[in-house]
Each structure stands twice: as C-alpha cells, then as structure tokens.
C-alpha cells in the first residue's frame, strides 16, 4: 500500500500543491526582505562614509555655500527666484541676495562646485566600500547559515579528506625524524598516505569485496617494498603479484608444487622435534568445521608428529619414507613402528576401525606432500627457517596456488606460512628490522595457529602483516568469532573499501568510529495568515556512526576510508587504477603435475606384480631403500621410540641397546637442521644412500613378532572401505572407488 493512501491525503495533489505554494511564497518574501534590507544597509553605509570623508577634507563654509546654492536652485525652479536669501561666506560674513542671484554668483558657484566635486569622489569611494560591505555580508550570512545547518563535532572520532590527513601525518613524521635524528628514515605509504612514525609494524588490514581495489592498494605498497629491497613473504593465491614483482635474479623463491620453479622443500627442512612436527600437523590438518569431536584430527596430528620426529632422529628425512609409513605401510607395520609411543593407541591393530579412521584423516591432510617431494629434485633443499634467519638475503618468498587445485594445496601453503611466522618470532628482538607478510584472501587458508600471537607480538621482531579479507564471516568460519575480531583489532591500520556484506559493513563502521555531534534540525510553519509563516532551527546532540554501514556498502571502486594507527582521524581516500604489467609468467606448469600422481598408491594400494611401478610409486622409494620391503620388528620400533626421547626408556634386553648408550637429542650437537650427522647408538647404524631395507635392523622374524609378510591391512582403498563399513566416524566420508 502506498504512503499517500494511508496518510490521510498527506501526498495528495491538493496537499502537495498547497504545501509547495505556501513554502515558495514564504521563501520569496524572505528573500525580498533580506535583499531589501541588505541594500538599505548598503546605501546607509555608502552615504555615511561619503559624507564623513567629504566633511573631513573640505571647509564647512563650502558645504554651507553648496547648500545655499542648492536651495536657490530649488526656489528658482519653483518660481520663487526673487526670494531673499542669506548667504554666509568663508569669513562668516552674511550677505543678502535674491535666489536667482545666488545661483549665478561666481563666488558661490566656485566654492559649491569645489564641494560637489569632492562629494562625488567620496561617494564613488564609499560606493565601492558599500559593495564590499554587501559582499562581506553575503559571505558572512552564507557561512553562518552553513554553520547553523551543519553538524558540529563535539567529541569522538573524525573523518577528514585524505589530502588533509596526508599533510598532517607527513608533517608529524618530519618532526619525529628531526627529533630522533634519523637521517635515513623514510615511512612507507598506503594509497598515497604515509604510515605514522614507525607504525608499519602495527599491521594493516584491507577489507573490501571483489573488485573494490584491495589488490591495487596492496600493489602500491609492495612496489615500495621491492624498490627499497626489503624482504617479504607473499601469499598470492590468484598470482596477482608474482608476475609483477618476482625477481629470479634477486634470489626470489616460489613454493608451489604445481609450478616448475618451486623450491625443494620437505617437512624435515623446517622441523626436527616432536613439537615442531605437531605444529606443522596442526596447520596442515585443521579442526573440521562444525565438529564437536576433534578426536580423529588430534589423533592424526599426533601420529604424524611422532612418525616424522622418529624418522628425523633416524636420519631418514625423506617425504617418501614419511608418506610410506603413514599411508602405505601395512597397519601392523605402522603399529610396530609407533610401538611404545603416545601414538601407538591410535593405530593399534586391535582397533582397526579407529586406526583406519585416523589414516583416512592423514590421507586427506597429507595429499599434497607427494607432489612436493617430486618438485625440484635436482635443486638444493630450501628451508624457510634458514631463509628468515639469513638477514643478508634480500630476496622474497612467494607462496602461490592454482584455483582448481587450491583445496588440495591450502594445507601445505598454511604450513609454509606457519613455519615462516614461527621463524620470524624465534629471532632476536629488533624493532628496526622489517619483514613484510602479505596475505591477500587470508580466509582461503587453513587456520594459522601462530597468526594471533604474531599480530600481538610480531612488532618486536620486525614483522609487518598486511592482510586482505572480503567478509568477516569468512574469517570467523576459520578462526571463530572471537579470534576473528581479535585479528582485525590487532591490525591498527585499516583500509576499508566497498563491503557488500552487511555484517562486515557494520563492523567496519564501528572501526571508523562514532562521535557526539550537534545536529541542526529545520522546521517550517505556514498558514492562511502571514503571521503563521516561519522557519525555525533547533540544535540537538546525537551520538552516532560517522559513516553508516549502508554508505560502505555503496562505495565506488577505488574509494574508501583509511583508518591510520595512532591518534589521527580517518581519511576519506580515492586512488587511481594502475594496470599491473607482468614481467614473468605467474605459473609455469610442471611436467608431472597432480594428474600424474598415483593417488591410489597414497592410500596404501600395492602395484600388482605383473604391472611395472609407475613414476608416482617410485616417489615413495627413498635413496635409503623402501621401508615396505620388510615388516618393522618390534625391537626396531622400540629402539626408534627410545631414540626419540619423548617416552620412557624400554627394557634394555628388549631393545638390544643399553639405555646409557642412547644418543642425545641431535638439537644439542648437530648445529641445525642440516648439521653433521649425529653419532648413532651401538647396533643402530644410520641408513645411508644406496642401502636397502635388508639392513639387519630392518630384518626380523615375522613369526616371532606375530607379523605376517603379506599383511596389507592398509593395502587398498577397497580393503580400506571394507574395514570401515558400518563404522560411523564423525566427519569421515568414504568415497566409492
């Protein structure tokens, strides 16, 4: 139903005509009243000024003679030229003349003309002064009326033009530079506005929907980072920045298992202890969304961490060995390998359904690791930890993806970024050092366990985060509501662009701030009598958003609000679009892409005897020999478990290794991840290149240990599915193959 149908004729033709006409004529009368009064004031001022100036520079007798002549002209023009007049000369002597004689008297004419000329000149000057006075009153009335009709800021946040904000911050930065005597200090800029003094490491959040300008704004900052030669880590899902800013000559690295330029990285490159691998597993295998029971994921993380840590202590730091023992080895062999550890219960052959559910979680979480092992086999190993620690290396690290394969890669990319964040936090504190972390489309990754801590404490270690999101709900779905608000709150500099989501716009409006404002309200009254006509203004104090959420939802592209750190007001900014010219391909596909990987083999299926092994199967064969040729005996598992140092020492007669002869933690003597090989315990030689699993420590009597050579509990997806049939594991889905 329309408004005028329910408002008693409020918007009917008669009502609108009456209202419009009354207001028009009321405004016309007010305009006429104002203009006439202005002219009266102007004329009064002009006359007054002219007379005062004239009398100040002429003799009073000239004025009397001028007046006498004007009166004589009046009498003559009215037919009374014979009327007698008294004329006072400059000597104050009185003369008697008829009116017609006064008009033509040379003495009177001379002095009256002199006075008249001076008066006309003064009127001209006074007229110009009157015009200036008229213009001044027009300006004053306009500005005063604008002030009365505008909101007056009383307290709270403020929004100012971007240019004004840029000038204020630039001036303050110059003062701080002189005050601290910093000759080489140069602040970075975001959309043409400098960061306040050393506020780059207070972190930056860019929020905007698709096409609003986040990438453009981020690119201007990245360009400055690269021009200065600073170090940076880029999470570049859409490969928007790599083609423009990647510089192979500068030593930049790419981590993307699908890209032929990918650096050679393994889980053992950046982890060596149980805690390191558990942290890696947490990033690679996030908690399932909406699941209240994290048992399967937690168990899979522990199994991964224990197995990886044992392999690291054994010196078998190969992704092949790790994937084999976790995904392809028979269940009893995996159980024997983890015997005596906290992970043993999760893979016990006595609970096959539980064990296979845990392995199913491992299959999902570790799917991308096989392709990573195949990447760059001929290149030197790359360690994110070592790269971060090497401050002389001015290169950058690009973590890229591919949209159609991103779901499989997101866990691996999350691990890389998590390792980088932890490496930064493990450095010595140095606020003068800066390393940038650019993460556009942050919610497209798994949960980064160290992100919240990195934002809260990273400033001390020189970390400068630049995060990009589209909607707050995306971030909340990964980190939860409270942590998502913590992440956005820890980014003190915020660039808010067009936000299509109402909830995100509401939150952004709160970040811009609210203020107490004195707001003018206008009222118009009219009636049949002119006495009823009138306009009134009232002032009312209100506490409200400076920018409404609805305004943020309708911002043009490349337009937004910059909320700077420190105490500066918010700036309304607009920046120009720049086409990003690429210098190198954003993606160069590997010859053996994901399509060539034997995903069936990753589930534990063995190649039939009459079929040659595929290249992907060989990816699980490390130079030290396949772990799958011979079941791992219990003695070996116990020795490796004791060597890990995480659990209680086993009986000396069970391991064959006296407890006192167990090697120390390699972290105490190997000098790092790539340090010299540790000294092994007696009877336990490290397996070297070219050795097979026929090594005595890998050989056991299967009957003595109760293990069968042909055990294939995890052999194929078919057996895997049969084992799990009828078992309802939370969050577990089995595909038909």
Length of the chain: 737
**How far is 376 from 589, CA to CA, in rounded Å?**
12
Asked if residue 704 has pLDDT above 60, the reply is no
Which sign does the torsion angle of CA 374, 375, 380, 386 carry?
negative
The model's confidence at residue 154, banded by pLDDT at 50, 70 and 90, is confident
Contacts for 527 with CB less than 8 Å, ≥ 6 apart:
533
**CA distances from residue 280 to 196, 277, 480, 719, 731 in whole angstroms, order as listed:** 36, 5, 20, 29, 21
Residues linked to residue 542 through DSSP beta bridges, in sequence order: 517
Compute φ and ψ for 427, nearest 5 degrees.
-80, 170
What is the maximum alpha-carbon separation in the chain? 159
Among 254, 252, 272, CA closest to 262 = 254
Place of tokens 């003190």: 492
Task: Check residue 535 and give its pLDDT.
Answer: 66
Q: Is the pLDDT of residue 432 over 90?
A: no
Name the range with the highest mean pLDDT among 536-540, 596-600, 630-634.
536-540
What is the reported pLDDT for 523? 67
Q: How many CB atoms lie within 10 A of CB 183?
A: 6
**The pLDDT of residue 682 is above 90:** no
> Nearest 5 degrees, angle CA 512-CA 480-CA 360?
150
Q: What is the mean pLDDT of the chain?
A: 78
Mean pLDDT confidence for 608-630: 36
Mean pLDDT score, 317-328: 91
**C-beta of residue 197 within 8 angstroms of C-beta of residue 171:** no
**pLDDT for the residue 8:** 43
Q: What's the pLDDT band for 715 if we cut at 50, 70, 90?
A: very low
Query: Is-contact 564 493, C-beta < 8 A?
Result: yes
CB burial readout 628-651, b (16+ within 10 A) else e: bebbbbbbbbbbbbbbbbbeebbe
- Which one is predicted more confidently, 532 or 634? 532
**CA nearest neighbour of 207 among 591, 514, 467:** 467
pLDDT for 73 beyond 90 = no
Query: For the segment 286-303, what is each residue's pLDDT rounded down to a tens digit?
Result: 887 766 678 899 999 999
Report pLDDT digits (tens) over 235-264: 999 999 999 999 999 999 999 989 999 999
* For residues 112-137, average pLDDT: 86
- pLDDT bucket at 534, cuts 50 / 70 / 90: low
pLDDT of residue 422: 93
What residues have CB less than 8 Å from 301, skipping those under 6 apart? 278, 281, 282, 285
Q: pLDDT tens-digit profile of 4-29?
A: 454 444 667 777 787 788 778 878 88
The most confident of the ranges 73-77, 286-290, 659-663, 703-707 is 73-77
| Cβ neighbours of 342 (radius 10 Å) | 15
373 with 210: CB under 8 angstroms? Answer: no
Please say if the pLDDT value at position 75 is more than 90: no
Binned at pLDDT 50, 70 and 90, residue 126 comes out as confident
499 CB-near residues (< 8 Å, 6+ apart): 207, 208, 209, 212, 471, 505, 508, 549, 552, 553, 555
Alpha helices in 675-736 (DSSP H): 702-705, 717-724
Give me the pLDDT at residue 454, please. 95
In the predicted structure, residue 575 carries a pLDDT above the cut 80: yes
**406: Cβ contacts below 8 Å, ≥ 6 apart:** 237, 444
Q: Tally the C-alpha atoms within 13 A of residue 707's C-alpha that lie toward its C-beta.
A: 24
pLDDT at 373: 62
Identify the pLDDT of residue 532: 56
Across residues 710-730, what is the average pLDDT?
A: 33
Determine the Cα–Cα distance for residues 638 and 683; give it in Å rounded to an integer: 13
| Of 734 and 138, more confident | 138
Statement: residue 63 has pLDDT above 80? yes
Tell me the torsion sign for CA atoms 454, 455, 460, 461. Answer: positive
- In whole angstroms, what is the distance from residue 585 CA to residue 718 CA? 42
Residues 371-424: pLDDT tens digits?
Answer: 776 666 677 889 999 999 999 899 999 999 988 889 889 999 999 999 999 999
The pLDDT assigned to 705 comes to 34
| Contact by Cβ (8 Å): 331, 714 | yes
The residue written with tokens 């009157």 in the block is: 130
What is the reported pLDDT for 652?
Answer: 33
Q: Which DSSP category does 262 fall into?
A: B
DSSP string, 40-105: HHHHHHHHHHHHHHHHHHS-HHHHHHHHHHHHHHHHHHTT-TT-EEEEE-TT--EEEEEHHHHHH-
> How far apart are the C-alpha atoms of 465 and 591, rounded to whole Å?
35
What structural domains and CATH numbers belong to the chain?
13-150 (no CATH), 165-265+380-574 (3.40.50.300), 269-372+598-724 (1.10.8.80)
d(CA 540, CA 154): 12
pLDDT at 672 over 60: no
In 649-693, where does DSSP find H-type helix? 652-655
Global pTM reads 0.69
Position 731 scores a pLDDT of 33
Q: Which percentage of the chain shows pLDDT scores above 70?
A: 75
pLDDT for res 169: 97
């Amino acid at each position: 139903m329309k408004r005028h149908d329910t408002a008693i004729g409020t918007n009917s033709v008669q009502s609108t005509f009456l209202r419009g006409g009354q207001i028009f004529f009321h405004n016309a009368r007010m305009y006429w009243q104002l203009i006439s009064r202005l002219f009266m004031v102007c004329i009064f001022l002009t006359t007054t000024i002219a007379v005062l100036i004239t009398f100040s520079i002429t003799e009073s007798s000239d004025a009397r003679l001028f007046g006498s002549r004007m009166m004589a002209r009046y009498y003559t023009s009215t037919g009374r030229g014979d009327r007698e007049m008294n004329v006072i000369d400059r000597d104050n002597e009185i003369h008697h003349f008829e009116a017609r004689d006064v008009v033509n008297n040379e003495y009177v004419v001379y002095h009256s003309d002199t006075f008249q000329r001076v008066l006309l000149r003064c009127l001209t000057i006074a007229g110009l002064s009157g015009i200036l006075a008229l213009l001044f009153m027009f300006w004053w009335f306009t500005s005063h009326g604008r002030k009365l009709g505008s909101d007056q800021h009383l307290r709270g946040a403020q929004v100012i033009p971007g240019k004004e904000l840029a000038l204020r911050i630039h001036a303050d930065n110059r003062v701080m530079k002189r005050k601290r005597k910093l000759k080489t200090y140069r602040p970075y800029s975001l959309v043409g506005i400098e960061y306040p003094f050393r506020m780059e490491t207070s972190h930056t959040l860019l929020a905007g929907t698709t096409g609003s300008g986040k990438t453009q704004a981020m690119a201007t900052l990245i360009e400055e980072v690269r021009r200065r030669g600073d170090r940076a880590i880029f999470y570049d899902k859409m490969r928007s920045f790599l083609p423009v800013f990647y510089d192979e000559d500068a030593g930049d690295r790419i981590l993307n298992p699908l890209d032929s330029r990918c650096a050679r990285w393994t889980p053992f490159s950046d982890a060596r202890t149980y805690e390191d691998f558990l942290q890696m597993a947490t990033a690679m295998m996030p908690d399932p969304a909406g699941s209240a029971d994290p048992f399967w994921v937690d168990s899979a993380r522990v199994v991964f961490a224990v197995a990886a840590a044992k392999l690291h202590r054994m010196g078998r730091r190969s992704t092949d060995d790790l994937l084999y023992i976790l995904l392809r080895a028979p269940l009893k062999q995996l159980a024997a390998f983890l015997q005596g550890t906290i992970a043993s219960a999760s893979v016990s052959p006595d609970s096959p359904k539980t064990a296979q559910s845990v392995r199913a979680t491992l299959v999902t979480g570790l799917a991308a690791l096989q392709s990573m092992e195949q990447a760059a086999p001929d290149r030197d190993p790359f360690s994110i930890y070592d790269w971060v620690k090497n401050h002389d290396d001015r290169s950058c690290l690009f973590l890229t993806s591919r949209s159609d394969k991103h779901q499989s890669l997101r866990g691996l990319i999350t691990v890389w970024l998590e390792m980088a964040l932890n490496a930064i936090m493990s450095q010595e504190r140095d606020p003068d050092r800066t390393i940038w972390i650019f993460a556009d489309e942050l919610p497209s990754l798994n949960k980064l366990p160290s992100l919240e801590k990195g934002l809260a404490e990273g400033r001390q270690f020189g970390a400068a985060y630049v995060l990009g999101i589209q909607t707050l709900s995306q971030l909340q779905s990964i980190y939860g509501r409270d942590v998502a608000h913590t992440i956005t709150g820890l980014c003190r500099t915020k660039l808010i662009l067009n936000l299509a989501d109402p909830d995100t716009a509401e939150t952004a409006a709160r970040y811009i701030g609210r203020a107490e404002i004195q707001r003018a309200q206008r009222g118009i009254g009219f009636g049949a009598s002119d006495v009823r006509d009138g306009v009134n203004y009232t002032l009312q104090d209100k506490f409200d958003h400076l920018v409404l959420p609805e305004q943020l939802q309708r911002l043009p592209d490349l337009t937004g609000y910059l909320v700077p750190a420190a105490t500066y007001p918010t700036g309304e900014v607009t920046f120009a679009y720049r086409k990003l010219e690429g210098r190198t391909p954003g993606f160069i596909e590997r010859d053996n892409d994901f399509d060539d990987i034997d995903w069936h083999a990753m589930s534990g299926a063995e190649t039939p005897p009459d079929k040659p092994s595929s290249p992907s199967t060989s990816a699980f064969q490390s130079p030290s020999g396949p772990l799958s040729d011979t079941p791992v005996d219990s003695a070996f598992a116990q020795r490796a478990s004791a060597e890990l140092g995480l659990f209680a020492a086993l009986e000396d007669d069970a391991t064959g290794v006296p407890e006192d002869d167990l090697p120390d933690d390699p972290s105490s003597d190997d000098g790092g991840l790539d340090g010299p090989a540790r000294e092994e315990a007696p009877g336990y030689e490290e397996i070297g290149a070219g050795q097979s699993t026929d090594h005595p420590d890998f050989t056991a009597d299967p009957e003595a240990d109760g293990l069968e050579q042909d055990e294939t509990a995890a052999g194929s997806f078919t057996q895997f599915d049969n084992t799990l049939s009828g078992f309802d594991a939370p969050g577990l889905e089995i595909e038909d193959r």
